[in-house]
Amino acid sequence: MITHPHDASLVLFDPADVEADPAAHPLIGEYRADLRAVVEWARAYLCRPHPELGRLGPVCPYAQASLDRGAFRLAVQPGGGHTVESLSALLAPYRDWFLDLAPRRMPAARSTTILVLLPGMRDAREVIDAAQCALKDAYVGHGLMIGEFHDGPPDKAGLWNPGFRPLRSPVPMLVIRHMVPTDLPFLISEEAHLAAYRDLFGEQVPGHLRDLVAKS
């Protein structure tokens, strides 16, 4: 369990904390079922192959390493009445905290992820999708990605199977991680996003994505 250095209301849990004594933190006692559901979803879904994925390997290539290295962090922000604006403000401190916890120069930084769970959120699909879109510029500009997950699921197709919607989750959430070279397809449509990608990776573009750069 990690507490934000300047705001004691912001806490990050790891999977072991989820099974701790509920008295260790009120959020564990009240939201243990949601936290457990997300950890199990990560292990059983993100870390495994899926028949509709369209390629070999797990759904998320980085989730297992994140779990193995103790870099899989969970936050809980309950409440049902979020707007795009309030949710964007709620996520702001997590972005800067992520950069402090996992500066890109650190070898294990790529495995770090913060999952901000939003249990009990009303209109989760519409608000989370819109908030992710509103936040993306600021995150990409810092070399980060922010992803939306809920039971909709979000209407974003898999890269290898356009009929697959991979971002379904048991609890609505927004997820923060470092940008990686294979994120190019998610950034190609905006010049500012593509510029941020090039600043980080230059010519280090995976072979199967080089045509995208050539066309941009």
pLDDT one-digit tens code per residue, 86-113? 999 999 999 999 999 999 888 888 899 9
Q: What is the pLDDT of residue 4?
A: 93
Burial of 134 (C-beta count, 10 Å sphere; 0-12/13-18/19+): middle
DSSP code of residue 142 = T
Q: What is the pLDDT of residue 82?
A: 87
Of 98-107, 121-130, 135-144, 198-207, where does mean pLDDT reach its minimum?
A: 198-207
| Phi-psi label, residue 12: left if phi above 0, alpha if psi -120 to 50, beta otherwise | beta
Confirm if 18 and 40 have CB atoms less than 8 A apart: no
Q: What is the pLDDT of residue 16?
A: 94
Q: What is the pLDDT of residue 79?
A: 80
Q: What is the pLDDT of residue 48?
A: 95
Pairing of strands 11-12, 72-76: unpaired
pLDDT in tens, 149-198: 999 888 888 888 989 899 999 999 999 999 998 888 888 888 999 899 88
DSSP code of residue 12 = E
Whose structure tokens read 């409440």? Answer: 79
Whether pLDDT at 206 is above 90: no
Q: Which residue has the higher pLDDT, 40 or 203?
A: 40
Q: What is the pLDDT of residue 194?
A: 87
pLDDT in tens, 45-56: 999 999 998 889
pLDDT in tens, 50-80: 999 888 999 999 999 999 999 999 999 988 7
Q: What is the pLDDT of residue 60?
A: 93
Helix or strand or coil: residue 11? strand
Q: What is the pLDDT of residue 23?
A: 84
